[in-house]
A and B are shown apart, each in its own frame.
Chain A
């Protein structure tokens, strides 16, 4: 049990910045550049953690605490996902609610810390984040319900090891929307552009504009852990049996990089439409998991 916790925590902390490096390298490759090194984010985190933080005069204790809370909640959520079969820490009915509400708590503190700065940009970012995540959450839950149903269990961590009775079509109907939501939740293109400097267009990045030094490091690290968490869930859904399946998260990172290279960012007005389409696919999977004539042979 303790060993499992240590392994999960270490994996989340160590591997998550690498995902960002892989995405950036893939994007650089597609645009004909050399790109920053794979381990750039580790250097950045090291540099930021050494630095002191500068704080705006309008902020309160909320702003100081938020990076720590965001980081801890995200890490706690990530630790709940077993990285290989049989390493689950807890499993009970409706454990996915705990998982996503830990993320929800992190988001809540991220949003109020952005509002705490009193900047009009950060207020806009916070309102966008709140709106779009409210649209993304139902999609996640529908996908997860489909997976739970296929595995005939009510515990998500158990379902991740179950493999969905090999019903590939329905699994992919649950995974594809989950992937789309992952892009939305982790501020990737087409929902948000992690590389942009245009504060008026940002969603996630604009909320951490005022953070610096250690606070910024924790926020960035938490964001990469969230990406790790989502890709680990996808990997564990697709390849439940293998011990080394977590290595596939790097493939997921490459896929994200490719997606970001070949499509442009959408306008904010169309984001609900995109999440809606993801929801439709998730619903289709959910319906089919009930359908009688859908017999997999």
Chain B
């Protein structure tokens, strides 16, 4: 049963990745990343109880739901409202191509993760493969999107992958390190949001192509 739930969560994470790859609106992307954040936060609850303290698990789950599911999406929504990026910016690669890419990467990581030696560490090999797929998809989003909000979301997907991997090797690493990483992430996002506001102030848009040229 526990294993089934883990598989379900991993699949939903993969589907939300594909959703992020296929959606053009920042509002929809923010919803997607919030959903993914909440899903991830449930993962610590499945850790084998003999290896970590139950209190640690609960604190981690609650904190990450708050940060990934509520606070960061809230900030992102606020910044999009401020800058009103209404225009869809066309990505360097089309949405359909991105979605096919996501599908192939997800399936590829399912396939290869079974052959890697460290899979015995994880709570489920499925989670590890979802994490690998997320990592690649996160980088892909950062690389192919012009909209700065979409790039931040790509960064978050990447970070989420790290979170899953961290949980996977939790038995050999204290959980408070995870908590520390979470807080770092929050600080990072706040700085990015401030930066986006400034970029918008200077360039009047958030197309990162404008950043190629130095602004006096």
> Which of A19-27, A221-229, A286-294 lies on the face that meets chain B?
A286-294
B103 & A284 in contact (Cβ 8 Å cutoff): yes
Q: Could you tell me the distance between the alpha carbons of A169 and B126 in the complex, rounded to whole angstroms?
A: 13
Q: Could you tell me the distance between the alpha carbons of A132 and B4 in the complex, rounded to whole angstroms?
A: 36
Residues of A within 8 A of B11 (CB): 169, 173
B110 & A281 in contact (Cβ 8 Å cutoff): no
Residues of B within 8 A of A294 (CB): 7, 110, 126
Q: Please, could you name 5 A-B residue pairs with CB atoms under 8 Å apart, sorted by A?
A: A168-B4, A280-B99, A280-B100, A281-B18, A283-B103
Instruction: Identify the 6 closest CB pairs spanning chains A and B, nearest first.
Output: A293-B114, A287-B107, A297-B3, A280-B103, A280-B99, A291-B110
A277 & B22 in contact (Cβ 8 Å cutoff): yes
B positions within 8 Å CB-CB of A: 3-4, 7-8, 11, 14-15, 18, 22, 95-96, 99-100, 103, 106-107, 110-111, 113-114, 125-126, 129
Q: Could you tell me the distance between the alpha carbons of A171 and B14 in the complex, rounded to whole angstroms?
A: 16
**In the complex, A276 has a CB within 8 A of chain B:** yes
Q: A276-B96, A284-B18, A291-B107 are in contact. List 17 more A-B contacts (CB 8 A).
A: A169-B4, A169-B7, A169-B8, A169-B11, A173-B11, A273-B22, A273-B96, A277-B18, A280-B18, A280-B100, A284-B14, A284-B103, A284-B106, A293-B113, A293-B126, A294-B7, A296-B7
Q: Could you tell me the distance between the alpha carbons of A284 and B11 in the complex, rounded to whole angstroms?
A: 10
Residues of B within 8 A of A293 (CB): 110, 113-114, 125-126, 129
Contact residues on A (Cβ < 8 Å of other chain), bracket: 10 to 19
Q: Could you tell me the distance between the alpha carbons of A281 and B19 in the complex, rounded to whole angstroms?
A: 10
Interface of A is mostly: helix
Chain B proximity mask over A100-124: 1 for CB below 8 Å, otherwise 0: 0000000000000000000000000
Given A277-B22, A293-B125, A284 and B3 contact (CB-CB distance below 8 Å): no
The closest CB in chain B to the CB of A277 belongs to B22
Residues of A within 8 A of B3 (CB): 297
Q: Could you tell me the distance between the alpha carbons of A297 and B3 in the complex, rounded to whole angstroms?
A: 7
Chain B CB within 10 A, most for which of A169, A281, A293: A293
How far is the CB of A277 from the nearest CB of chain B, in Å?
Answer: 6
How far is the CB of A47 from the nearest CB of chain B, in Å?
Answer: 43
Residues of B within 8 A of A296 (CB): 4, 7
How far is the CB of B13 from the nearest CB of chain A, in Å?
Answer: 12
How far is the CB of B72 from the nearest CB of chain A, in Å?
Answer: 25
